Structure 1
Amino acid sequence: MSFAPEPPSLMGANSIQEQRERWDRKRSRTARELVQTEQHYCHQLELVSTFFVEILRAKGTLKQDIRDAIFSSIKDIQSVNQSLLVHLENGYLGQGLDKFCSHLDHYSKYVDNIYNAKKVLEIQLKKNKAFRRFKKLQEARPEFKDQKLEDLLQTPVQRILQYNHFLQDLTANTSPDDPEFEQLSKAVAAVSEVSQRIQNNT
């Protein structure tokens, strides 16, 4: 039995392999968490879109300009994120995030309007009895699980900040020679820009 040390080149190859395996494990864990939280987030967007935006438009309880002021681009955000979720669930992280980032203008619009949305919602709840009653009835639905409209309207802002964390983790645990590395790096820069807008608007 030989106890001779491994040649330096072999030791180096082993340590590189171990590093790649560590990256893969961490990346897989982050990717799983991203998919799970994205599923929950898309469900929250669907609640607002289905039980508020669409029904309010059909009933005419709020005028269009008021609806636009409160809900802004949330329908567009829902559509973009539904597409992202399909990519993530099928394992196409880089491709999905790359496509997602080309539609971040919907988030920028939403973030820039968030303060105004809050004020308009407060005013409507004070002066519009029909809307106040409608909101209460919708929030009492079992699908809402005690979530309030005010909290749900904040979720796109909170999600952008979460993307920042997820994308930095994914990039840090992706080998620079991986085809997805460049897509992830671009996504980090694009999401960071929207995160900065959030800080400027709060």
Structure 2
Amino acid sequence: MNAVANPRRERVDAARNRVKILAAAASIVAAHGVEGLSMADVAAAAGVGVGTLYRRFGDRSGLAYALIDEREREFQEAFIEGPPPLGPGAGALERMRAFLHALTDRTVEQLDLLLMAETASPFARFGGAYAAYHAHLSMLIGQVEPEADGYVLADALLAPLAAPLLAHRMRECGVTPERVKSGLDDLVAGFA
């Protein structure tokens, strides 16, 4: 059965619980940071059982991804069908630069949640969002430099935005988001 043609519908009570859980988790993160996000506290604040949380989200990293999800959907919509230069209608180099700048801002905005989510397992970073970013950059690289290995080069452009590396560079080394963007601009300029 095609999941897209026939999406699994969420029960009304499950949808209501999801909204309560995510609101409680967001409130806890806003008040206490990601370090204060415990499954027991979220369950208590949402008025649901801890088992419900574990069944729904798996663990804290699953809950972190759920909190990240709405912002991620907005970001993907912007680079897939939004206005140029991030969306279609601008040249490939301009789109690459706009995409990497927007991704830097988006990563910094939710850095602690991404850090928790991306370090949950060795390959946690390489889920759906990363695959979308990678495909987008590979396509743009192919438009600019058809002979280049866009598959590998997309990873090189995304590497500086890995949450653990970005957090380390910003917090331990004093690197600013503007400096990261400038370095990415230098990499993109190599395609011209």
TM over 0.5: no
Quickly name the TM-score band, shorter chain normalised. Answer: 0.3 to 0.5
Which protein is richer in helix relative to its size?
1
TM-score (norm 1): 0.34
Structure with bigger RCO (C-alpha 8 Å, 6+ apart) = 1
TM-score (norm 2): 0.35
Larger Rg: 1 or 2?
A: 1
